[in-house]
Amino acid sequence: MKAGVLYGPRDMRVEELPVPGTSGDEILVRMEACGICGSDLHLYRTGGFEDMGAPMGEGRIMGHEFGGEVMVVGEKVEGVKVGDRVAALAMGGFAEMVLIPKAVVGRNVFHLPEEMSYREAATLEPLAASVHTVAVADPAPGDTVVILGAGIIGLSCIQVLKAKHDCRIIVTDFSEKRLGLARRFGADDVIPAEGRDTVEDVLGLVGEQHPAFLGFGLRSGKVDTVIDCAGSASSTAQALRMVRRDTGKVVLVALFERESTLDLNYITRKEIRVKGSWGWSPEEFGQALEMVARGAVDRIPLISHRFPLEKIRDAFEAQTEPQGSVKVLVESAR
């Protein structure tokens, strides 16, 4: 079988590898479509977060956002048969065949409705991560939520917020393409970040608090929650400045390639809550699948590029260009 193997920064090679063997509690899935996740992209660019002590090693098959057809079923696996269409959760999705260890329906194997395409299935994992992020944010009715970064997670958070909550949504990004999708998905305000002071723009929309005892020249806007999907030192600093004092929340969902320096006086003096959001539960993945199946969200507009597995390096290079890409898929050659 063919597979895309990463050996270091931007060193992605298509190689011929043996088809994995299958034991009793495993299934083998033929990959039909696999999305490039932000974590995949970080590894592609950095070779494994080497600056933070996590080198790549001897090569890695990435990819965990995929859908495909079941080809082999171990004798201990229940509820799955050859020919089933599934979204399966495991690493190694950038290959023609993907082994799913300890396969359990509803935990790491999810049946796809007939009307759901494999391309849509390849967007379920980031949607599930966004279901989790919005749950962590836990907005109240009428809250103002600012999303920094309109990549796949930021845009998915818009979709989840619109489907589940009644709140004002403000989105910032450098890409007009992505901001256009944010508008399409229901953002109330979008702010182009290029050449602008994002904090001033947000405060101009929501207003500013002026608690007399804040001090230190700190700023405080009337933003209830900021979801940081951008993952830069500047974006988190912006979040701390614009969120409101006392009840404000900052949710960090992006990955950071390097350590950052922040003015922590904002957290102390404003008594805000900073939370991380990582991954999802099987129940949240099921929620994401159900949202797509019933048409509560439309995932197809998020797919900006599609490449065959043989051109996986071109796929990753396309994903590195935020002005022109959103979700890039690697697909079976069939």
- Write out 199-256 in H/E/C secondary structure: HHHHHHHHCECCCCCCCCCCCCECECEEEECCCCHHHHHHHHHHECCCCCEEEECCCC
- Per-residue tokens: 64: 């965990």
What does residue 213 show for φ and ψ, rounded to 5 degrees? -95, 10
pLDDT for 187-209, tens place per residue? 999 999 988 899 999 999 999 98
User: In terms of C-beta density within 10 A (0-12 exposed, 13-18 middle, 19 or more buried), how is residue 180 classed?
Assistant: middle
Residue 55 scores a pLDDT above 70:
no
Q: How confident is the model at residue 242 (pLDDT cuts 50, 70, 90)?
A: very high
Question: What is residue 63's predicted lDDT score, i.e. its pLDDT?
Answer: 96
User: What does the DSSP 8-state code read for residue 60?
Assistant: B
Question: What is residue 211's predicted lDDT score, i.e. its pLDDT?
Answer: 67
Higher-confidence residue of 254 and 85: namely 85
For the residues 83-87, what does the mean pLDDT come to?
A: 98
Residue 282 scores a pLDDT above 70:
yes
Question: What is residue 212's predicted lDDT score, i.e. its pLDDT?
Answer: 60
Question: What is residue 53's predicted lDDT score, i.e. its pLDDT?
Answer: 46
The superfamily CATH assigns to domain 2-123+299-331 is Medium-chain alcohol dehydrogenases, catalytic domain (3.90.180.10)
Q: How confident is the model at residue 56 (pLDDT cuts 50, 70, 90)?
A: low
User: In terms of C-beta density within 10 A (0-12 exposed, 13-18 middle, 19 or more buried), how is residue 279 classed?
Assistant: exposed
Cα angle for residues 11, 118, 164 (degrees, 5° grid): 105
For residues 54 and 48, the answer to whether their CB atoms sit within 8 Å is yes
- Neighbour count for residue 76 (Cβ, 10 Å): 11
Question: What is residue 232's predicted lDDT score, i.e. its pLDDT?
Answer: 82
CA distances from 20 to 27, 30, 77, 100 (A): 10, 11, 17, 10
Residue 119 scores a pLDDT above 70:
yes
Give CATH 3.40.50.720 domain extents, the chain: 125-276
Residue 294 scores a pLDDT above 90:
yes
Question: What is residue 18's predicted lDDT score, i.e. its pLDDT?
Answer: 96
User: In terms of C-beta density within 10 A (0-12 exposed, 13-18 middle, 19 or more buried), how is residue 247 classed?
Assistant: middle
This prediction's pTM: 0.93
The two counts, helices (H) then strands (E), for the chain are 10, 15
Question: What is residue 49's predicted lDDT score, i.e. its pLDDT?
Answer: 53
- Give percent of the chain with pLDDT exceeding 90: 82
Q: How confident is the model at residue 104 (pLDDT cuts 50, 70, 90)?
A: very high
pLDDT for 22-54, tens place per residue? 999 999 999 999 999 988 998 998 886 555 445
Question: What is residue 57's predicted lDDT score, i.e. its pLDDT?
Answer: 66
Span 125-276: which CATH code? 3.40.50.720
For the residues 61-89, what does the mean pLDDT come to?
A: 97
Give CATH 3.90.180.10 domain extents, the chain: 2-123+299-331
Task: Provide the mean pLDDT of the chain.
Answer: 93
Question: What is residue 135's predicted lDDT score, i.e. its pLDDT?
Answer: 98
For the residues 175-186, what does the mean pLDDT come to?
A: 96
The CA-based dihedral angle spanning residues 192, 193, 197, 203, taken in that order and rounded to the nearest 10 degrees? 60
